Amino acid sequence: MILYPAIDLKDGNAVRLYKGEMDQATVFNENPAAQALEFVNAGCEWLHLVDLNGAFAGEPVNAAPVEEILKQCKVPAQLGGGIRDMATIERWLDKGLSRVILGTVAVENPDLVREACKEFAGHVAVGIDARNGRVATKGWAEETDVMVIDLAKSFEDAGVSAIIYTDINRDGAMQGPNVEATAELANAVSIPVIASGGVSSLDDLHNLKNCGAALNGAISGRALYDGAIDLAEALSVLKS
C-alpha cells in the first residue's frame, strides 16, 4: 500500500480543512513546495495535491504552487480540484503531473472521463467524495442522489487508473477513516481504490491495510502535520 501525504492548497498555502468546510481551514505551511519536499525527503513515493479554491471555482486557482511542487519534487504527484475539461487535463500532464483526479465532472459529464482515459491512458483517476454514502460535488458544497458504489461501477470499463474515495465527515476530523465503507467499495470494483479522510493513527493505517489487495493506498494530511502519525513509521507499516 502506498502512503499519499496530502497537500491541500487554499490561497497559495498548504492547509487542512475540518470536514470540508472552507471557513475552517488551518494553515500548516505558507510554502507548499517546501512542505512537499519535506515529505519526499522523508521517503514518500507519491504526493496528493488538492486545489481547494479550484474545486469551488471550477478551474485551476492554485496553479503557481502546484507548478513549483512539480518542479522541485521528483516523485509522481496526483492533483484534484477544478479539473473539468480536456484542455486543463492536458495542460497539467504537460507540466509533469502524473495523474489528474476528476471529481465533479465524473458525476456531471462521465463521457469526458471516458474520453480522458482513452486520450491520457493511465493518468486519470476519479475522485469520489461522499457524505453518508452519497456523492458530493463542487468542493463538497453540493450533495447528489448518486450512490458511491453505483458511480464507481459505472467506470469499471473506462480505464480509470484509481478511485480516490473520501468520507467527508471524517476528513480532517481525526476520528479514523470509514474502514467499512472503504472496504465495501474496494471489494465492489476492480479499479484500485485509495482511501482518504480521517486517517489519524498508525492503527488506522493497519486497519486499512487489512482491507486487502483491493486497497491501493491511503491519503493522510492533518495527522502528519499534527505529528499524530510519525511519517517514517507510517511508511514502514504500509510497506511491511
pLDDT tens by residue, the chain, 240 residues: 999 999 999 999 999 887 677 888 889 999 999 999 999 999 999 999 999 999 889 999 999 999 999 999 999 999 999 999 999 999 999 999 999 999 999 999 999 999 999 999 999 999 999 988 899 887 667 889 999 999 999 999 999 999 999 988 876 656 789 999 999 999 999 999 999 988 999 999 999 999 887 899 999 998 999 999 999 999 999 987
pLDDT on residue 213: 79
Q: Report the predicted TM-score, pTM, of the whole model to 2 decimal places.
A: 0.94
| Amino acid making up residue 3 | L
Is residue 8 part of the annotated active site? The answer reads: yes
- The one catalytic residue in 51, 129, 167, 171 is 129
| Other residues' Cβ atoms within 10 Å of the Cβ of residue 240 | 8
Axis-axis angle for helices 202-209, 179-188 (nearest 10):
30
3-state DSSP assignment of residue 198? coil
If you ran DSSP here, which 8-state letter would residue 168 be given? G
Rounded Cα distance, 74 and 111, in Å = 32
Quote the cell numbers at residue 78.
Answer: 496526483
Q: Does domain 2-239 have CATH number 3.40.190.10?
A: no
